[in-house]
Structure 1
Amino acid sequence: MPADLAVIGLGALGLPLAQAAVAAGIPTLGYRTGPEAGPLSPAELRRMHARGFRTATGPAELGRVRTAVICAPTPRSADGGLDLGQVEAAARALAERLRPHTTVILESPVPPGTTEGVLRPLLEEGSGLRAGRDFHLAYSPSRVDPGNRDVTPANTPKVIGGLTPACTESAAAFYGRLTDKVVRARGLREAETVQLLESNYRHVNIALVNEMAVLCHDLGVDLWDVVRCAETKPFGFQAFRPGPGVGGHGLPQDLAGHAGSGLRMVELAQQVNSRMPRYVVQRAATLLNEHGKSARGARVLLLGVTYKPDLADLQGTPAREIAARLMELGASVSYHDPHVPSWSVLNRPVPRADALYEAVADADLTVLLQQHRTYDLQGLSVKAQLLLDTRGAAPTGAAHRL
C-alpha cells in the first residue's frame, strides 16, 4: 500500500510523529538517516507495524508520498553549534525523488534561516523543482515530551510556518489530521525561532534553579521547600527544579556569530548547567569526607543514569560525566537503572547492580541521579549508608539533597 507520509529520521522526534500518524490512520513510511535510538518500546513499535507502518528499504520509496517530514537529529557540533549533517543528507535523499505538489516539512531543531537557506537550495538543486511553486516547504517545531502520557500530539498545538501562505496552509492541512489546534506563524523564520525560544526557555530556567540550589546549600536554606511554596503563586511563576545537569535532545542555542552578539543569557545558562555534574561530584566527595571516608576507593552507586525518568534514553545524560569524574577521583563506581542493561564510561563497562537493596546497603555512597518510578526512595534511604538525592525525591530528612 502506498504511503501518504514519509517520516525521515526515526529517532526521538521522528518515531513519535510516525506513531501519531499511524494512530490517525495515515499510511506512513519511515526512513532512517543514521543509527538512531527512539523513545518507543518494542511493544509500541509492534503495534505501529501492525497498523501498517513500515520502514523504507531504500530512498526510492520517498518519491511515492504526498508529505515528507524531516526529523533528522541535529547534535552538538565540534564548534558548539548544531550539526546539520543528517538534515542535509535527508534533503539530498529526498530531493532526487521529490515530485511536484509534495509538502516538505522540517521539524529538526535548527538555527533560524536554515529551512530557506540550507534545506531549500538542496531540495531545488536535487529535484529541479522550485519551492513555493512546484512543491510546498514549511517548518514546524517538534513538541515531543518523551514519557509524558498527558501530552499527546492530539492535545499539543502545532506551530506552522511556510515559505508562502500556500505552503503554510498545505502543512496546516497535514497537521490538522493529527492535532486539535494548528497555530500559523508569519513565516519560516518565525516558526524556527519558536523552537529556539522554547528550548532556550527550558535551559535558562533550569540554570536559574540550579544556581539557586548551590546558593541555598551554602546558606543552609531548603531550596525544595522554597520551590514548593513559590509554585503556589498563581501568576508570573512556573516551577523548575534543580538536578545533576541537563540532558535530552533539545539543545540550547546562543547563536553566537549568527546574530550580532548572540544570546548572552543562554550562553551563561549553558555554563551554569554544564557545571552541575562537577558540583554533584564535589558534594559527593564532601559527604564522604564528612563521614570519615575518602573518594579514592569509595564504593559509589549511581541510581538512574538516563536523562529522563522511566525512559531508556541516555542522550546528553549528566550521569556519564559524573561517573567519569568519580572514577578519576579513584572511586569504585557501579550503577543501577531498570532501563539500561549495560553502560560504559571512558570506554570501560560500568558494573551493573542487579540486587538493588543489597547494592545500596553495600555502597559507601548512593547518588540518586534519576527518579524512576520503580524506586522506593523511602526503603532505599533506610538501606543506604549515605544517600545524595539530586532530584528532591527522597522523603524530607531521609537523604542529603542537592
Structure 2
Amino acid sequence: MAAETHPEAEIGSNDGDAAIVLDELRKEYGGLVAVDGLSLTVESGEFLVLLGPSGCGKSTTLRMIAGLETPTGGTIELGDEDVTRTLPQKRDLSMVFQSYALYPHKTVRGNLAFPLGKMDLSAAERERKIEDTAELLEIAELLEKKPGQLSGGQRQRVAVGRTIVREPKAFLMDEPLSNLDARLRVRTRLEIRELQQRLGTTTVYVTHDQEEAMSVADRIAVMDGGELQQVGTPEEIYERPANEFVAGFIGNPPMNFFEVDAGEGTRVFPDDPVDLDASVPADAATLGVRPEHVHLVGDRDGTRATDDRCEPFACTVDVIEPLGNAYELGLIRGGEPFVARLRELPESAVPGATVEVAFDAAELHAFDESGGSIR
C-alpha cells in the first residue's frame, strides 16, 4: 500500500481516550474456567496482541471485549465508560472474524455500506466513506464485485474495510489471517500493521502464531490456561521471559531447557555431567538456552571459546536441517537432545560426528522449581 495515495485525514480521526481496561475478568462455562482473573490495559492507540496456544482463553477474552460473551466476573472499560454489560452494538467497536463474515449476496460496496446503515449520514457522506476506505485498502476496482469473485486476500481486505469504515474506537481482530496461505499472510500482516499505525486506532489482535505476533505488536500479552503469563514488547517477551512457559512458547525453534544442579557448579546433563562454569542463582532448577546462543567451538565463522562463553563440552550431531539462510542442528549429550541454530555449517558437523559446543554465558536463563524466571 502506497502511503502517499491514502486519504488518511478522512479516516481514523476518532480522537479521545480509547483505552481498554480489563479488571479481574473471568469467564466460566459450567465447571470450565476459560479466563481466570485477567487484568490488562490496552493503551489508547496501541496495537496489542493476545497470544497463546489453542484453548488458552484469548478468543474468549476478545469476545468479552466485543460483548459477544458475558463475563462471569470482573469489568471491562472502554475509555472512561464501563461497558461490561453494554450491548455489542453500543460499544463502538468493530471486529474482524477468522471467517471474514462477508455477506455473499452483497457486492463489496454493499458490504462496506452495511455498517453505516444505522449511522446518521447523508447519502453523499456514506459514499465518501466507502470510497475513502476502498482507496485506503486498494480495493476500489472491486467495489462492484461479490465476495465469491474475490481471492482470499481480497476478501480479507474487504473484511478489514468493513471494520474501519465507520471509524470505531477500537478494532478487534480474531485470527484474521488464518485462512490465507503463508506468503500472503506475511504480506497482509504487514499491511494491517501499517494501516493501524496510520489510523492510530486501538487494536486488539488474537493469534496463536508467535511470528505474526512479534511482527505486528506494540505489546504482546501471552496467555495460557486462561491466565495472563506476561505482557510486554516483543523484545521484552523474547529476551526476558517471565517463566518457562513463555520462554518455551516464544521462539522458533524453542528454547532448550536443561535440569541444573547449581550447587555443583552449574552442572547439567546428569547422565553425562558437564560443569558449565557459569554464574547461576543457587535456587535455579532449570537452565534455558536459545538455539542461536549455542555455538560450535572453532566453526567456520571464526567462533572460538572466549570469556563470554561457558566452558565447551563434547556432544554428538544427530540431525541437520538446512533452512536456506541458516542450519538447525539436533545435538545429543548423555541421551539428552537439544538444538543449535547456526549461520554456517562446519564441514566437521555431519550426523554421528562429535563436536565441541559452548553456550553464551550472558544469554543463560534460569528458572526456579515453580518455573518462574530468576534471571
* Structure with more of its chain in strand, by fraction: 2
Larger radius of gyration: 2
* Structure with more of its chain in helix, by fraction: 1
Higher relative contact order, structure no. (Cα contacts within 8 Å, ≥ 6 residues apart): 2
| TM-score normalised by length of structure 2 | 0.29
